[in-house]
Amino acid sequence: MPDIVDIAVGAGSFNTLVTAVKVADLVAALKSPGPFTVFAPNDDAFAKLPPGTVESLVKSPPQLGRILTFHVVSGRYKQADLQTMDALTSLEGSPIPIDCRDGFEVKNATVLAADIEADNGIIHVIDTVMLMG
């Protein structure tokens, strides 16, 4: 089974995320055994950011890395596992609010596709890039 990075590369809808993961030097971490749960913003999610945001983040790999690790949690969590949880702690260290009462939302993002299985975790596709705070 492919790992989280291979699935993102192969999907074709995560080009910005894949580039950001490379710039932030997180490829090896996301190819490691994990397991991880990744809330993966698709290309449309990155396109919703204000103009110039992605370009400025690419010039600041540490800040980009913090934002990306805010989208990752340690452990394998399917949507069913999250039904009774209010939040998870991201690898960045901040809590990610979870709301499964009416659909499936994390922080300010709606999950578009849940429970994509990877060799080293689970991917949930989201429609918005989440920011800490």
Is 42 contained in some domain?
A: yes
CATH number of the domain to which 110 belongs:
2.30.180.10
| 100 backbone φψ class: left, alpha, beta (φ>0; ψ -120 to 50) | alpha
pLDDT tens track for 93-129: 999 999 999 999 999 999 999 999 999 999 999 999 9
Is 84 contained in some domain?
A: yes
Closest CA to 8 of 48, 46, 42, 44: 42
The whole-angstrom separation of Cα 91 and Cα 24 is 14
Is 68 contained in some domain?
A: yes
Q: Residue 133: what pLDDT? A: 79
Q: Number of structural domains, the chain? A: 1
The pTM for the full model equals: 0.97
Q: What range defines the domain where residue 31 resides?
A: 4-126
3-state secondary structure of 81: helix
Low-confidence ranges of the chain (pLDDT < 70): none
Is 133 contained in some domain?
A: no
